[in-house]
Amino acid sequence: MRKLIAGNWKMNGLLAELEDVASICEAVAAHPSVDTALCIPATLIRSAAGRFADMAIGGQDWHMAASGAHTGCISAEMLADAGAKLTIIGHSERRAAQGESDADIRGKALAAKRAGLAAILCVGETEAERDAGRAEAVVLGQLEGSMPDDAASEWISVAYEPVWAIGTGRIPSVEDVKAMHAAIRGALVARFGTDGSNIRILYGGSMNGDNAASLLAIPDVDGGLIGGASLKADKFLPIVAAAAAA
Ligand code: PGA
């Protein structure tokens, strides 16, 4: 399976940072065996998608309706219209700060499909849930509740992102990542049959140039969702190189 390394810029990036998108795009072109994407602020999508055709440009959130009386919101169709090819859904920062439920996330996944966007659907446990021995139950529960019934490998990927590993510099042990990805794979195959083995499962949470090779070598780790280390080419490129070598 081709690995996918996707960057999540979160709420970072003014027009001036398009130069960083350009450097990243130029750098990743050296590794055509890896699929790469950058999910950037909606305000930059039109400029970036028009200028850097070699790397997929994506969004991070939208309203699940196609149009209507939703002041301040944008739709999946608008992201696609601006040139986005994919989007993140269900990131823990949105689950926590915007109160997004599994049902909301499932609705957004369907809206992404409707608009022709690929989706990276995030799941992950908090530290308290892991300490209580509930990590796998929480993650599989989120997966069950937020993956739509017609999910298919051609448009959806899953990202396992332990909440306590995001932006902290801490990562789970290789054994814990292996066990969680195997559990997610098992659930995908049980629900979607053969196609469940083709759905990419990314790891996210403090992935960087130092730990990428060992994380990407774990069975069923089919790529990474990268926050902080996706903002600059010199941090992002070593992760893409590790994926190319894995
Ligand atoms: P991080 O973020 O790489 O900065 O930990 C990952 C994410 O939130 O997707």
**Per residue in 3-37, pLDDT tens?**
999 999 999 999 999 999 999 999 999 999 999 99
Tokens 């499932």 belong to residue: 106
Reading the block at residue 112, the tokens are: 């992404």
> How many residues appear in the chain?
246
**pLDDT reported for residue 27:** 93
Ligand 1 binding pocket mutation candidate from 12, 40, 161, 163 (most atoms within 8 A of CB): 161
Amino acid at 45: I
Is any atom of ligand 1 closer than 6 Å to the C-beta of 161?
Answer: yes
Checking if the pLDDT of 53 tops 90, the result is: no
Domains of the chain: 4-231 (3.20.20.70)
238/74 Cα distance (integer angstroms) = 34
Task: Report residue 50's pLDDT band, with 50, 70 and 90 as the boundaries.
Answer: confident
Residue nearest to atom 7 of ligand 1 (CA): 227
Measuring CA to CA, which residue among 190, 197, 221, 196 is closest to residue 207?
Answer: 221
**Mean predicted confidence (pLDDT) in 206-227:** 98
User: What DSSP state is assigned to residue 66?
Assistant: S
| Buried-state track 51-77, b at ≥16 Cβ within 10 A, e below 16 | ebeebbbbbbbbbbeeeeeeeeebbbb
Check: CB of residue 232 under 8 Å from CB of residue 15: no
**Mean predicted confidence (pLDDT) in 101-114:** 96
Task: Report residue 47's pLDDT band, with 50, 70 and 90 as the boundaries.
Answer: very high
Check: CB of residue 159 under 8 Å from CB of residue 139: no
**Catalytic center residues:** 91, 161
Q: Is the dihedral of CA 124, 6, 18, 66 positive or negative?
A: negative
**pLDDT reported for residue 126:** 97
Spacing, Cα 98 to ligand 1 middle (Å): 17
Measuring CA to CA, which residue among 139, 158, 138 is closest to residue 148?
Answer: 158
Query: In the beta sheet, which residues pair with residue 36?
Result: 5
Task: Report residue 92's pLDDT band, with 50, 70 and 90 as the boundaries.
Answer: very high
Spacing, Cα 227 to ligand 1 middle (Å): 3
Cα 106 versus chain centre, distance: 15
20/24 Cα distance (integer angstroms) = 6
Mean pLDDT for all residues in the chain: 96
Measuring CA to CA, which residue among 115, 113, 177, 97 is closest to residue 150?
Answer: 113
**Mean predicted confidence (pLDDT) in 127-147:** 98
Check: CB of residue 112 under 8 Å from CB of residue 118: yes
Spacing, Cα 183 to ligand 1 middle (Å): 22
Is any atom of ligand 1 closer than 6 Å to the C-beta of 8?
Answer: yes
**pLDDT reported for residue 54:** 75
**Mean predicted confidence (pLDDT) in 227-234:** 97
**pLDDT reported for residue 51:** 85
Q: Which atom of ligand 1 is nearest to the CA of 165?
A: 5
Q: pTM for the whole thing?
A: 0.97
Is any atom of ligand 1 closer than 6 Å to the C-beta of 90?
Answer: no
Ligand 1 binding pocket mutation candidate from 126, 177, 206 (most atoms within 8 A of CB): 206
End-to-end CA distance of the chain: 11
Checking if the pLDDT of 52 tops 90, the result is: no
Is any atom of ligand 1 closer than 6 Å to the C-beta of 204?
Answer: yes
198/214 Cα distance (integer angstroms) = 22
**Mean predicted confidence (pLDDT) in 75-90:** 97
Share of the chain above pLDDT 70, in %: 100
For the stretch 58-80, pLDDT in tens is: 999 999 999 999 999 999 999 99
Spacing, Cα 111 to ligand 1 middle (Å): 24
**Mean predicted confidence (pLDDT) in 161-188:** 98
**Mean predicted confidence (pLDDT) in 109-128:** 97
